[in-house]
Amino acid sequence: MASSTMPIVLSLLLVLCFPYTIVVVSAGQAPCGYKRLFSLGDSITDTGNLARVTPNISTMAFPYGETFFHRPTGRFCDGRLILPLLTPFLAGKTAEDFRQGANFAVASATALSLQYFKDMGLDVKKIPPFSLDVQVEWFKRVLHMLGPTEQAERKEIMSNSLFLLGEIGGNDYNHPFFQNRSFSAEIKPLVPKVIAKIENAIKELISIGAKTIIVPGNFPIGCMARYLTKFKSNNPSDYDGTGCIRWLNDFAEEHNRALRLMLERIALKEDPSVTVIYGDYYSAVLELINSPRKHGMYHHHVTCHVLPSSVWDISYH
């Protein structure tokens, strides 16, 4: 499975060093050589935060961690995530040196607040109270710790830092999808609300000095095993040529289009020294789906771990 992460990692590295290869929506350029990396998001970059507050979480048992660390670490992965693979490329820092950055991502986190989902009537036991706005507040507290007295020092920290904001928003849809909520009446209308929350977070980071922000989009959820299991259909027309569910991928693309349009609006209003970058996770995963053997994958529509009952584990994070 380690090779399955490489296209996404490489796409992020291209964003860092050659921003014109991805969708860049500001006049600024994003050279390599950032002094620090700050990450906000969900399980795609959570390196153990949820495990710190949920000791009995499943990621603290095998098969999680068995490939690289040979022990569970709280990551929703059997090996390494994107974040530790990126840090060696940032101004000479190593994957072990996080003194010049911090990771605020929490698995299962949402863009919308926990209260929003309570008001929807969802069972919120699997939704942590660490939504995007909470993570932004955590970052602001850390920033004040790094530069407690000098505003100029905080500005310098912000201007020389790379921000990875997401992927975030996918869980806002996952939770109601897997609680059997109406797609047309309850889930699809969430898109503008989720985009607005992401926009607010971006603007807040820019207002306190952020200069380079990567904002990844959603994945092709119609290709994911948990969705393929949940929404299995006997109608062949529901699937595309690779076996992915069309309407679910169409929905993910709707989110991504709205996200890109929002980033373009921000870029038009911001100083040219601010660079906001769309991270195209959707295309990176489709590359895996379309050419699995090229990337060392042979069963790309099933999960890595099967429960003893032989039912696919469709838990989400």
Stretch among 16-20, 126-130, 265-269 having the lowest mean pLDDT = 16-20
Residue 4 — very low, low, confident or very high, per pLDDT cuts 50/70/90?
Answer: very low
Rounded to an integer, the average pLDDT of 229-234 is: 95
Tell me the average pLDDT of the chain. 77
Q: Which residue has the tokens 């964003």?
A: 15
Give helix 246-269 / helix 281-290 axis angle, nearest 10°.
150
| Cβ contacts of 44 within 8 Å, gap of 6 or more | 81, 82, 105, 166, 167, 216
pLDDT value at residue 26: 43
CATH of the domain spanning 2-295 = 3.40.50
How far is the C-alpha of 57 from the C-alpha of 59, rounded, in Å? 6
Q: DSSP label at 194?
A: H
What residue spans define the domains of the chain?
2-295
Does residue 191 contact residue 256 with C-beta atoms inside 8 Å? no
Stretch among 54-58, 60-64, 108-112 having the lowest mean pLDDT = 60-64
| Cβ contacts of 284 within 8 Å, gap of 6 or more | 7, 8, 11
Query: How do residues 143-167 score in pLDDT, each as one tens digit?
Result: 888 877 678 888 888 999 999 998 9
3-state secondary structure 121-174: CCCCCCCCCCCHHHHHHHHHHHHHHHCCCCHHHHHHHHHCEEEEECCCCHHHHH
Is the N-terminal amide bond of 216 cis, ω within 30° of 0? no
pLDDT value at residue 204: 97
Residue 186 — very low, low, confident or very high, per pLDDT cuts 50/70/90?
Answer: very high
Is pLDDT above 60 for 19? no
- The model carries a pTM of 0.78
Is pLDDT above 60 for 268? yes
Does residue 230 contact residue 178 with C-beta atoms inside 8 Å? yes
Is the N-terminal amide bond of 204 cis, ω within 30° of 0? no
Does residue 276 contact residue 202 with C-beta atoms inside 8 Å? yes
161-165 sheet: strands from edge to edge: 23-24, 275-279, 212-216, 161-165, 36-40, 102-103
Is 2 or 59 the better-scoring residue by pLDDT?
Answer: 59
pLDDT value at residue 291: 82
pLDDT value at residue 192: 99
Other Cβ atoms less than 10 A from the Cβ of 33: the count is: 12
Is pLDDT above 80 for 197? yes
Residue 68 — very low, low, confident or very high, per pLDDT cuts 50/70/90?
Answer: low
Say whether 306 sits in a helix, a strand or coil: strand
Tell me the β-bridge partners of 275.
212
Q: DSSP label at 48?
A: S
Report the candidate in 111, 114, 148, 153 with the shortest Cα–Cα distance to residue 132.
111
Rounded to an integer, the average pLDDT of 291-309 is: 59
Query: How do residues 80-114 score in pLDDT, each as one tens digit?
Result: 555 554 544 444 443 344 346 788 888 889 999 99
Residues in the chain: 317
pLDDT value at residue 270: 82
Rounded to an integer, the average pLDDT of 122-130 is: 93
